[in-house]
């Protein structure tokens, strides 16, 4: 075992570097990802090491970026594109939904598009309009796309390597507020792959289900609850699509209570889907209805009001308290 203390940003950078070194068909491109190394420095040093043919800047035109990626993937390359900010990706949405997601089906399996769409996403950094959004539901609702959301440096490295190697297109959601979180990581150790959730804290009283930026908040809530005598289990979804029903539902059946935590607005959301799947599969094990703690059903708020919008430890614990404990 070789442990390295890495931020999530450094782990992602290492994943891109290793993928570029291992496979000459891998290309990295997007706005400012070249000499600058990206707004968040995820691609720092890659152009210097691999040259402008392998890691290069594009015009400020997200639809053009995706169109270029489609053409390159059709001709045997593995493009890894960066959308720079979550809400910047919407001009590329038509390309993603109409072409990237559907091309394998349209060609009856003859042509796949092994594209990774890296999206720095969600809140927690005080970003202004168009710089913070939680757009996972749009992608998760689109058949043909895999959607991943790591919550720690180890998963950021492992899942990004798997995404780049995948024959299918992957939307890779990178929580902006976790870019600078640091931990000891063993990059030689494999992590659970695409389509696999993970129990990141054991507990017996209720299960918190979260992904991406909400996982640390759920873990913090579980720690506070432990001090109050309540044992909360935490499941990190990791892979939104494909979804790991087996792991999530086994966890919920073990506790009989569940709270889904996510930053996106709650209506017609990934959190809604998780709650529905858990209810359908675990109904006879449940001591209380599934609760959700999400962002509010409003446009993403200005930076000064962001902390009211995002799920907090207090809101999570309030939802846990609402799980009909008097009936236990």
DSSP string covering 307-320: HHHS--HHHHHHHH
How many whole angstroms separate alpha carbon 52 and alpha carbon 49?
9
Name the residue among 263, 207, 254, 262 with its Cα closest to residue 231. Answer: 207
Q: What are the pLDDT digits (tens) for 167-189?
A: 999 999 999 999 999 999 888 88
Summarize pLDDT for 144-158 with one digit per residue, the tens: 999 999 999 999 999
Domains 4-185 and 198-327 agree in fold? yes
CA distances from 163 to 80, 145, 175, 247, 308 (A): 9, 11, 16, 21, 33
CA 77 to chain centre: 24
The pLDDT of residue 35 is: 93
189-221 pLDDT, tens per residue?
888 899 999 999 999 999 999 999 999 999 999
At residue 263, the pLDDT reads 96
Partners of 261 in the β-ladder: 210, 293
CATH 3.30.420.40 fits 4-185, yes or no: no
Is 99 part of the annotated catalytic residue set?
Answer: no
Nearest to residue 248, comparing CAs of 207, 308, 188, 203? 207
SS3 assignment, position 210: strand
Helices (H) and strands (E) in the chain, counts: 12, 14
Q: What is the pTM of this model?
A: 0.96
Q: Is it the case that residue 78 has pLDDT exceeding 70?
A: yes
Q: Does residue 326 register a pLDDT over 90? A: no
Choice among 99, 131, 146, 309 that is catalytic: 131
Domain extent listing, the chain: 4-185, 198-327
Task: Tell which residue, 294, 296, 7, 272, has the closest CA to residue 140.
Answer: 272
DSSP at 167 = S
Q: Which fold has domain 198-327?
A: Rossmann fold (3.40.50)
């Amino acid at each position: 075992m070789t442990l390295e203390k890495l931020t999530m940003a450094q782990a992602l950078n290492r994943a891109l570097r290793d993928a570029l070194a291992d496979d000459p068909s891998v290309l990295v491109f997007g706005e400012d990802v070249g000499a600058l190394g990206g707004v968040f420095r995820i691609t720092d040093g890659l152009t210097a090491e691999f040259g402008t043919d392998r890691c290069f800047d594009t015009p400020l035109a997200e639809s053009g970026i995706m169109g270029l990626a489609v053409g390159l993937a059709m001709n045997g390359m593995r493009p890894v594109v960066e959308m720079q900010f979550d809400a910047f990706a919407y001009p590329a949405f038509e390309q993603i939904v109409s072409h990237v997601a559907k091309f394998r089906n349209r060609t009856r399996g003859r042509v796949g598009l092994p594209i990774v769409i890296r999206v720095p996403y969600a809140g927690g950094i005080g970003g202004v309009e168009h710089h913070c959004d939680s757009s996972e539901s749009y992608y998760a609702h689109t058949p043909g796309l895999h959607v991943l959301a790591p919550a720690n440096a180890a998963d950021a490295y492992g899942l990004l390597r798997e995404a780049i190697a995948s024959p299918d297109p992957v939307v890779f959601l990178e929580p902006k507020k976790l870019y600078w979180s640091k931990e000891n990581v063993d990059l030689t150790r494999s992590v659970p792959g695409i389509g696999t959730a993970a129990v990141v804290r054991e507990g017996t009283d209720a299960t918190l289900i979260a992904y991406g930026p909400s996982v640390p908040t759920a873990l913090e809530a579980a720690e506070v609850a432990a001090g109050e005598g309540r044992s909360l289990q935490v499941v990190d979804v990791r892979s939104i699509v494909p979804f790991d029903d087996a792991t999530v539902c086994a966890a919920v059946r073990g506790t009989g209570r569940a709270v889904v935590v996510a930053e996106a607005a709650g209506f017609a959301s990934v959190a809604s889907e998780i709650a529905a799947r858990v209810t359908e599969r675990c109904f006879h094990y449940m001591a209380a209805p599934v609760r959700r703690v999400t962002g509010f059903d409003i446009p993403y708020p200005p930076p000064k009001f962001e902390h009211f919008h995002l799920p907090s430890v207090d809101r999570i614990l309030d939802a846990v308290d609402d799980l009909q404990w008097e009936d236990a």
